[in-house]
Structure 1
């Protein structure tokens, strides 16, 4: 089965909020036929209609399944409750989505094995609900899951060992590099559980990465993240997803450059 190239819609969040259909039309004109929605429960029907109108599928999406309230992208918490798994899966079905991936858990939840066990319990419980509806559950990493270590294993590896076999992983290659971990080795360790990767590049310049959002990100293949080696090490890859947290330049040109890079490397 060929690997599908996609784009995380958070990349174009400002444009998307301003003009849903126009933004998806622009992505389609840049060669994208798949996208990964975020915060999709609140707009499932209009998003599904706009995706269909522009010939874009949504095989995966991001929604909180292991947190009781929304977590901001900078790691700060909120008191805004998240939808229940059943509500999330209702929206996923509307979008034709087959895998729902938890995008983020707070760094403070990776300080002990007990906290990781609780995250695994919540993901496993969501996976049980999803399985009855034909929807897989996954988890997406940032740097903190890899910076936390327990007896020589990263927190992400500890989590993987605790997960129900039905729970998959989406590895963000940029954040792996930010954590100082070798992504090809990590992907080989995690094995067939990794069905998706975020293909995100950067210079890893210390001053630029200290900013929020990171100021070092560049089109795929133009930075120092070992993307090609990581892609080759992902043995069960189904979806490779372009993403930027931030880009100082023409964002649509940048995502198209990343798509071209990715299509070439995945095809190879």
Structure 2
């Protein structure tokens, strides 16, 4: 692995609202070396200082606000965070992934945002859920067709769990999209929609094969929903991933 494991902060969104300092400190104590924010507009200067104090990197951030706000405002906040990668985490209508015309419009949107991001020294990416995987066009997942239409600088952050839920053979998908994939969301669970996620290594995902298929990508742990103590689950996930690195 070329970078430390990270945590997508959406995982601990409720806890963050109560005590951001305590949450990031616990993430660092568990052993994670990075965090991925989900709202760069929320006090980017303060989050950057806190991350620095705790020795946490901020290599990337989600930025759904790019589809709702003036992009320049968002890119300025991301630059303040010090994250070089800014990611659109969905927000494009699901229907756009069911036709070639919709994919062309989506590519145009992302390519335009990527060009603007470059002016701030940032690289733009897109994060999938299941709805970019389930539709197939000419026998290929919609996300793969989209990738062909993206400018070379636009990267992908593959959410490995949602890709599996959408019907993909995830290691094979990563093999085909290797040049585009700079980051992974590593998560686990029962492999169906609307069920809580588990600690990485305790669900149905073939995690070792997934990591082997994208050895240079950022590894970001995320749980959209969790039925257990979230910090215990994050610790279990970190221990499992660390054991794979040592094997």
Q: Could you tell me which of 70, 75, 82 is aligned with 1:96?
A: 82
Instruction: Output the CA distance in 2 between the equivalents of 1:170 and 1:267.
Output: 25
Instruction: Return the TM-score normalized by structure 2.
Output: 0.94
Greater shift, 256-265 or 8-17, is seen at 256-265
Residue in structure 2 matching 1:125, options 79, 90, 112: 112
What residue number does 2:11 align with? 11
Indicate the SS of the match to 1:144: coil
Over residues 161-209 of structure 1, what are the superposed CA-to-partner deviations in whole Å (9 max), with x where a residue is unaligned? 00001011010111011112100110011121101101100123xxxx4
- CA shift, 1:266, in A, is 4.2
Unaligned runs of 5+ in 2: none
Separation (CA, whole Å) in 1 of partners of 2:23 and 2:6: 15
Q: Cα 1:210–1:243, aligned 2, differ >3 Å: closer, same or farther?
A: closer
Matched, 1:192 2:185: no
Task: Kindly state the Cα deviation for residue 210 of structure 1 after the two structures are TM-superposed.
Answer: 4.6
Residue 135 of structure 1: aligned partner = 122
Cα deviations across residues 120-165 of structure 1 (Å, max 9, x unaligned)? 1111111112223221100000001000111101110011000001
Q: Secondary structure at the match of 1:240?
A: strand
Q: Distance in 1 between the 2:36 and 2:124 partners? A: 14
| Alignment: residue pair count | 246
SS at match of 2:132: helix
Q: CA deviation at 1:66?
A: 6.5
Contact 2:76 2:120 in 1 (8 A): no
For residues 155 and 65 of structure 2, the distance between their equivalents in structure 1, rounded to whole angstroms, comes to: 13
The residue number in structure 1 matching 2:44 is: 44
TM-score (norm 1): 0.87
Give the Cα–Cα distance (whole angstroms) in 2 for the partners of residues 124 and 53 of structure 1.
Answer: 35
Change in CA separation of 1:210 and 1:2 when aligned onto 2, cut-off 3 Å: closer
Indicate the residue corresponding to 2:24 in structure 1: 24
Cα deviations across residues 26-75 of structure 1 (Å, max 9, x unaligned)? 111111120000012132122222222222111000013763xxxxxxxx
- For the aligned residue pairs, the C-alpha RMSD in angstroms reads 1.7
**Inter-partner Cα distance in structure 2 for 1:84 and 1:156:** 26
Deviations 1:202-259 (A, max 9, x none): 123xxxx453xx32x1111111111111111115x33101000111111101011112
Matches within 5 A, 1:198-217: 198-204=185-191, 209-211=192-194, 214-215=195-196, 217=197
- Matched with 2:159 is 172
User: Which residue of structure 1 aligns with residue 138 of structure 2?
Assistant: 151
Aligned-pair CA distance for 1:4: 2.8
| Unpaired stretches in structure 1, ≥5 consecutive residues | 68-81
Q: How far apart are 1:90 and its partner, in Å?
A: 0.8
